[in-house]
Amino acid sequence: MFARSTTVVAHPDSIDAGIRHVQNEVMPMLADLPGCVGLSMLVDRQSRRCIVTSSWQSESDMRATEAQLHAVRTRAAEALGGRPQVDEWEIAALHRNHRSQHGACVRSTWFRVDPPKLDRAVDVFKLASLPELEALEGFCSASLMIDRESGIAVSSVTYDSFSAMERTRSAAGTIREAGTAEAGADVLEVCEFDLTLAHLHVPELV
C-alpha cells in the first residue's frame, strides 16, 4: 500500500472553503480512479497546516495518476490559499481498533532514521510502540508511512477526541522516546491535527 500527501499552509480565511472543496470535488473524483483506496484530511488551524493524503493499492497505481491529479492538487491548494508540497510514501503499518467518528484528532510524528535501519524501525513500531499506543485512552488507530530513499517516516495516531489526545501527551511522549531510541531514529517534529475527513479503506497492515 502507498500514499501521496499534499501539504498546504493555508490562508486562515480559506481553510473552511478548502475543506469543502476537498470533500465535494476532490474526494468523489479520487473514488473513481483505479487503485485508490480513500482519502483523509488533517487540519491544524493554529499553524494553518492542512495535509490531504490519498492511499493506493500499489505504487504503480499511485504513479499512474500523477499527471491527472496535478491540476486537481493545484486547484485544491488554491482553494486553501497556499502552495502544495507533495510527498509519496509506502504505508508500512496500519492498525485500526475502531473507525474514527466526528471530533477525532491525530498526533503525527515525523522522524528520520538511516535508510538501512528503516526496516528495524518499522518492526519497533509494530512490535513495541503500537501495543503501548493501543492501550492509551481514546486510541482509535495508528499508521506508519516511510520513504525508503530518505529514511524519513511519519507515524500518525488517531484519538476519539481532542481531550483524549491531550490527556495522552505525556504517555505518548514516553512511548515515542523509547521507540525512537530503540530504532536509532531522530524526531523531527510532532504536531496535532483535527481529523477533518476520514475516508480511508486501507486494510490492516501489522
Averaged over 5-24, what is the pLDDT?
A: 94
Closest by CA to 50, choosing from 40, 62, 38, is 40
What distances in angstroms separate CA 145 from CA 88, 111, 167, 200, one per listed residue? 9, 11, 25, 14
Strand partners, 43: 50, 194
pLDDT the model gives residue 161: 96
pLDDT of residue 186: 96
Q: What is the pTM of this model?
A: 0.93
Report whether pLDDT(206) > 70: no
Q: SS3 for 99-153, per residue?
A: CCCCCCEEEEEEEECCHHHHHHHHHHHHHHHHHHHHCCCCEEEEEEEEECCCCEE
**Structure confidence at residue 203 (pLDDT):** 67
Predicted pLDDT of residue 80: 92
The pLDDT value given to residue 154: 97
Average pLDDT over residues 39-56: 95
Asked which of 123-132, 164-173, 191-200 is least confident by mean pLDDT, the reply is: 191-200
Which band of pLDDT confidence, cut at 50, 70 and 90, is reported for residue 71?
Answer: confident
The domains of the chain, with CATH numbers, are 2-200 (3.30.70.100)
pLDDT tens digits for range 126-158 = 999 999 999 999 999 999 999 999 999 999 999
* Closest to 52 measured CA to CA, from 69, 39, 68: 39
* Mean pLDDT for all residues in the chain: 93
Whether pLDDT at 204 is above 70: no
Please give the grid coordinates belonging to residue 36.
485508490
User: In this predicted model, what pLDDT tens digit does every residue of 77-96 receive, in sequence order?
Assistant: 899 998 889 999 999 999 99
Confidence band (pLDDT; 50, 70, 90) for 48?
very high
